[in-house]
Chains A and B, each alone.
Chain A
């Protein structure tokens, strides 16, 4: 989900990344602060944009699976109430369920807008837009911030792949039979971190050997 940049429609890909970033910020504020009619309108806008850009649904299925678990937890915590006195009992709260549904709706919209922004914007454009955003802030080295964000976005899909590989390797070694949670945490995190730090080392060497400097020109500058 983090590396799906696909310039599928010229109008969306050619639009200035700064405009897209500001739109995204406004959308997120509207999604969180908006009432029901605003959520309906934003859902319509979201569906329209997804339809116009024609992203294949398989691109978002994995994200939806991740999100589904979280939505379930959010809905359950809002709609179920645990009595604090003995005997403990779970009770269903209709108002809480509606509240939970709206919270889930907001989260889904945020995810779809975020994915949309990533799909139609290249990493270099995002980097340039972030540098532009940070430029007026005193004491913030905008080019370093932009470069680090760009590196973060490059690392994300790599990390997810390495995490999946590590997880498969651990399962092949029957890690699920181990009951000690600290052992499982360590055996999952250590190889993942070791590999990613080696990748970061190689990247730093590559940047150094190419005489990386923060004083280079970027788009929009």
Chain B
């Protein structure tokens, strides 16, 4: 029997939406600062599902939060979170996952291109997030970068490094 790939991809995208939501609560304690896994799951959604279904997974996650369900960081939800200081990061996940998926689909599946895709995605997330943070909090650029970007870069580098072996191991499991 021919398998309906759209149902399977829909299930995967829903699962990644749940992973992104759960990622806000799942933390690996490294040193004194626990590093949450949300970004990692956004990267993996783009790399494993591609641009279309990766975008679906992030869109479903954002919609779930927008209607008020407690899936955003700290157990908060509601449409007004998009207008808050972290709203730019949330919106930034959409172009980021699309970009990661697009780079991943249109290049060879080598670690170099995967790292490039995730770095590009991170740049998009921080561009949206820090710009919005600056607008909402009326900070200047250096302060906005210090509050909303620099402290998270080492964690992001670790997540990108971890995403490579995870993608390699899971690519065979995802049946597109």
- Chain A residues within 8 Å of B, Cβ to Cβ: 1-2, 21, 24-25, 27-29, 31-33, 63, 66-67, 69-71, 77, 84, 107, 110-111, 113-115, 117-118, 126, 129-130, 133, 144-145, 147-149, 151-153, 155-156, 158-160, 163, 181-182, 184-186, 188-190, 193-194, 196-201, 203-204, 207-208, 212
Instruction: Enumerate B8-45 residues with CB–CB distance to A below 8 Å.
Output: 8, 10-15, 17-19, 21-22, 25-26, 28, 30, 34-35, 37, 40, 44
A190 to B15, Cβ gap below 8 A?
no
Question: A201 to B63, alpha carbons, bound, how many Å?
Answer: 23
Per CB-CB distance, the 9 closest pairs between chain A and chain B, nearest first, are: A28-B78, A24-B68, A114-B70, A155-B18, A185-B162, A151-B14, A32-B80, A110-B76, A114-B77
Interface band, chain B: 35 or more
The majority secondary structure among interface residues of chain B is: helix
Q: Interface code B139-173, partner A: CB below 8 Å = 1, 0 otherwise? A: 00000001100000000001101100110011001
How many angstroms from the CA of A42 to the CA of B120 in the assembled complex?
41
7 pairs across A/B with beta carbons < 8 Å? A2-B71, A117-B69, A118-B70, A144-B10, A152-B60, A156-B18, A159-B22
B30 to chain A, nearest CB (A): 5
A186 and B166 within 8 A (CB) = yes
Q: Which residue of B lies closest to A25 (CB)?
A: B79
Do A204 and B19 form a contact, CB below 8 Å, given A66-B75, A118-B70?
no
Which residue among B18, B35, B68, B84 has the maximum number of chain A CB atoms within 10 Å of its CB? B68
Task: Tell me, in angstroms, the Cα distance from A114 to B71 when the chains sit together.
Answer: 9
A219 to chain B, nearest CB (A): 16
Q: How far is the CA of A69 from the CA of B19 in the complex (A)?
A: 20
B175 part of interface (Cβ distance < 8 Å) = yes
Task: Give the CA-CA distance A28 to B173 in the complex, in Å.
Answer: 39
Shortest beta-carbon distance, B111 to chain A, in Å? 13
Name the B residues within 8 Å of A113 (CB-CB). 68, 77-78
Contact call B69/A201, Cβ cutoff below 8 A: no
Among A149, A152, A198, max chain B CB count under 10 A is at A152
Task: Tell me which residues across on chain A come within 8 A of B162, comparing CB atoms.
Answer: 182, 185-186, 189
User: In the complex the two chains form, what is the Cα distance from A147 to B158 in whole Å?
Assistant: 34
Contact, CB under 8 Å: B69 / A114: yes
A159 contacts B19, CB within 8 Å?
yes
Known contacts: A28-B77, A194-B173. The answer to whether A148 contacts B68 by CB under 8 A is no
Flag if B40 contacts A185 (CB, 8 Å).
Answer: yes
